[in-house]
Amino acid sequence: PALGACGGFPHLRVLDLSWCPGVDDELISSICNTSCANSIQDLLLRGCLVSDQGVMNAARACRRLRVLDIGAWPYSRLRGVRSVTDVSLFFIAQCAAFRSEEFLLESLCIAGRRGTTDEGLDALIEYLPFLKRVDVRSCSSITQPSVTSDGEADGELSDNAIWRIGRNNNRVEIITDSYPSGLTTPDNYAEEYGVLEGWSDMQTASGLWRLLQSVTAVRTAAEMQARSTAEAQAADMLAEAAEVLSRASEIYSQANEMQQQASEILSRVTEVQAQVSVMHGQAQEQGNAAALAQAAQMQAQVAQMQVHAA
């Protein structure tokens, strides 16, 4: 819901969602459908659960994009992210080819994205007219020949960066550093990615710690919400129980009143029955057939009243 409100900021320039575990392709698609997509210049998605689909949506919708960071967790054991491959890089290059001078992307970070290769990097350098910097650290499928400096020897910056000649003869800075195995990992990788190496494996530091804090905060909020919901449900159930109890009390009171009325009716029926018996006896003594018939009729009515009262 919070990110859904991005549409209320049509002049948003920087959107930093780095290390947010809930950011995935679906959320990126939702953001791209808001008005702020036209104004975003810096989109930082490092460590998020985005794949080629999310990157392509961002490249298509964010037409003023200058900085795009889709770097991943540096080691596969901790990445936990969807795949970003050359498909994303070729799509970005295609967008640049169609838009030409309108495609403003200057800086791209694909560090740790092992599905990217030399071909994808070459396409970026060939077609992005304003590209100045590409971070390919820990991209094990991008080989050293692909990032060899073009041109003069003084084009080299340091052990961690070299120049490549871009589309408009602009020099593109490629950030990389190689181990003997060919994997690329810079000296400041631990600080930038929040990862420390230790013992025979590696331990997480600030990056994973921030992620764990986010997960803990979400879990705490969920527990509080669940507790609040349970309390509200319990209060509703108590209110319903009180209402049922009140209704039961009313019914019990009405039943008592009806029982009293039935007792009164039975008492009156008994009195009438006694009177009818007297009338019947008198009619027999007098031999009055009409009186006997009337007495019999009254006895039948008294019997019906007894049944009704019961």
- CATH number, position 158: 3.80.10.10
Say whether both 148 and 290 belong to one domain.
Answer: no
Say whether both 243 and 185 belong to one domain.
Answer: no
pLDDT score of 144? 55
Residue tagged 């575990």 (tokens) = 21
Residue 216 has pLDDT above 80, yes or no: no
CA separation for the pair 81, 75 (Å, rounded): 11
10 or 91: which leads in pLDDT: 91
Give me the mean pLDDT over the 274-299 stretch: 78
Lowest mean per-residue pLDDT among 15-19, 92-96, 194-198, 222-226: 194-198
CA separation for the pair 62, 34 (Å, rounded): 10
Rounded to two decimals, the pTM is: 0.55
Q: Alpha helices of the chain — where are they, by DSSP H?
A: 25-32, 52-61, 76-79, 86-99, 118-127, 189-193, 206-286, 289-309
pLDDT score of 15? 93
Say whether both 34 and 125 belong to one domain.
Answer: yes
- Residue ranges making up the domain that contains 258: 223-309
Establish if 203 belongs to a structural domain. no
Give me the mean pLDDT over the 147-167 stretch: 52
- Within 8 A by CB and 6+ apart from 236, the residues are none
Say whether both 181 and 296 belong to one domain.
Answer: no
pLDDT score of 207? 47
Establish if 212 belongs to a structural domain. no
Given 143, 178, 196, which residue is the final one in a domain? 196
Residue 287 has pLDDT above 80, yes or no: no
Q: Specify which of 71-75, 209-213, 279-283 reaches the highest per-range mean pLDDT.
A: 279-283
* CA within 13 Å, CB half, 120: 23
- Taking the CA atoms of residue 147, residue 148, residue 154 and residue 158 in that order, the dihedral angle to the nearest 10 degrees is 50
Say whether both 58 and 124 belong to one domain.
Answer: yes
Establish if 101 belongs to a structural domain. yes
Say whether both 125 and 163 belong to one domain.
Answer: yes
CA separation for the pair 165, 150 (Å, rounded): 6
